[in-house]
Chains A and B, each alone.
Chain A
């Protein structure tokens, strides 16, 4: 009887653990505080370059080839051009738009890699470890000098 109870308890515990380890992408945050994420990344020292102030949405759309209608809100900061470092945080109106944004970030990474390969080759490893993460209608793209730390900080937000 004791053994049976112990096995049952273990099974319940295991089931609970499996539920808790579900796909993060399915657990969309209620709201992502973009400014707080931006500040946390800066304070975490993940960037080595100066990131310029956030762009207006029309510049963001032009930069990434996006339709402005696909962007509910965003926070996008690019470097001076000396490096490939970049932060782009989006909220899309729906999952389909979020998918298009994520695709645009993939394209961005590929284009930047090609650009910097002969220009500043030291930037290519950063781009190879670029973070593109989607959660619900949120998409986050980060190319940083310290991508591991950037990922850890992002974990607390998305």
Chain B
């Protein structure tokens, strides 16, 4: 009797061991029921069964996040590579005394400039008339400070009419609408040439750029200090500024251009100096 009980107990123990082993093998499988989720999702993502999303968090959103749409107009994004002077060789700059200052002080000599002191959006058509038809690949425009007293919507309307004129003259050109530049705090405090009006005008210019699928360059971002104004030490009248600021303006333009519109030149291949190569043995 004791030996039979011993044999039965031995059999039960063996069966239990076999079952335990089977359970262990099952836990190491790629599927099946398990309480330990894998740390990395498999290469091919399959939908998670309802109710198991928390166990498989990395597999719960099989659809990849959409990549952002490329920027095609509006505020020009910052580019990693600064454009060289050649980039501006097909550019025309159009505007008021600040554009004249750009011509004199920025250091850029590869572009053409059509500018006049006291120029406004109403008179700029005369400058456009000086441009040879269809010459330019880019047109940069800075207007607005001399007509800061207009209603912003009226300014936008007149600016839009000017854009029509420019497009008729330069149909292949990428158009960059440059914002009004900042004024100093002291100038703003005097009234009329206030930073508030500058920003109101700039808002309309950004709208225009988006509506017309053109580019907008934020010169307040480029030239204002941390207070949001033109620094006091670079201006005597609160509007015009010293030569150094034009260099800052140019650097902003070098790093803000239509995506894909600039390809840096390839580096020149290295040439070997004659006589330094070992002669071939014959």
Q: Using A50-B242, A52-B243 as known contacts, say yes or no to A82 and B104 having CB atoms under 8 A apart.
A: no
Identify B117's interface contact among A58, A63, A116, CB under 8 A: A116
Q: Select the stretch in B93-101, B135-143, B217-225 that faces chain A.
A: B93-101
A49–B236 contact, CB under 8 A?
Answer: yes
Closest residue of chain B to A77 (Cβ to Cβ) is B243
Q: How far is the CA of A50 from the CA of B242 in the complex (A)?
A: 8
Closest residue of chain A to B146 (Cβ to Cβ) is A119
User: Is A22 part of the binding interface, using a Cβ–Cβ cutoff of 8 Å?
Assistant: no
The interface of chain A, by Cβ under 8 A from chain B, is: 48-50, 52-53, 55, 58-59, 63, 78-83, 115-116, 118-119
The interface of chain B, by Cβ under 8 A from chain A, is: 97-98, 100-101, 104-105, 109, 116-118, 235-237, 239-243
Instruction: Kindly list chain B residues whose C-beta atoms are within 8 Å of the C-beta of A78.
Output: 104
A82–B105 contact, CB under 8 A?
Answer: no
Closest residue of chain A to B97 (Cβ to Cβ) is A81
Which 10 pairs across A and B sit closest by C-beta, in order of nearness?
A82-B237, A81-B240, A119-B118, A52-B243, A80-B240, A82-B240, A115-B117, A81-B97, A82-B236, A49-B236
Closest residue of chain B to A84 (Cβ to Cβ) is B117
Give min CB distance, A147 to chain B, whole Å: 18
Task: Other than A48-B236, A78-B104, A83-B237, give 9 A-B pairs with Cβ distance below 8 A.
Answer: A50-B242, A53-B243, A55-B104, A80-B235, A80-B240, A81-B101, A81-B240, A82-B239, A115-B117
Q: How far is the CA of A48 from the CA of B235 in the complex (A)?
A: 12
Closest residue of chain B to A118 (Cβ to Cβ) is B118
Q: How far is the CA of A58 from the CA of B103 in the complex (A)?
A: 12
Give min CB distance, A145 to chain B, whole Å: 11
Identify A82's interface contact among B109, B118, B235, B243, CB under 8 A: B235
A50–B118 contact, CB under 8 A?
Answer: no
